[in-house]
Amino acid sequence: MNPLVALTVAGTDSGGAAGVAADLATFAALGAHGTCAVTAVTAQDTTGVRAVVQLSADHVQAQVDAVLNDLPVAVAKAGMLGAVAVAGVVADLPPGLPLVVDPVLRTSSGAVLADDALVTAYRDHVLPRCTVVTPNLAEARRLAGAGSEEPPVDVALALHALGPAVVLTGGDPEADWCRDLVVDDRGRAHVLEHAGVPTTNDHGTGCTFSAALAVHLARGEPLPTATRAAQAFVAAALRRSAGWRLGRGRGLVAHTFVPPTQEV
Ligand X SMILES: Cc1ncc(CO)c(N)n1
Q: Which residues pair with 177 in a beta bridge?
A: 195
The stretch among 24-32, 36-44, 182-190, 194-202 that binds ligand ATP (CB under 6 A) is: 194-202
Site string for ligand X, 89-108 (x = CB under 6 A): ---------------x--x-
Counting Cβ atoms within 10 Å, is residue 2 exposed (0-12), middle (13-18) or buried (19+)? exposed
Q: Is 74 left (phi over 0), alpha (psi -120 to 50) or beta?
A: alpha
- Tell me the number of residues near ligand X by CB under 6 A: 14
Q: What, of ligand X, ligand ATP, none, does residue 178 touch, CB below 5 to 8 Å by kind? A: ligand ATP
Contact set for ligand X, span 2-21 (CB under 6 A): 10-13, 18-19
Q: 236 CB contacts (<8 Å, ≥6 apart)?
A: none
Q: Which of 179, 178, 195, 199 is nearest to 250 (CA)?
A: 199
Closest approach, Cβ 238 to ligand X, in A, equals 15
Contact present, 134 and 104 (Cβ < 8 Å): no
Contact with ligand X (CB under 6 A) among 8, 26, 35, 42 = 42
Contact set for ligand ATP, span 51-90 (CB under 6 A): none
Give the residues lining the site for ligand ATP (CB under 6 A).
18, 108, 136, 169-171, 173, 178, 180, 196-197, 199, 202, 204-207, 209, 231, 234-235, 238
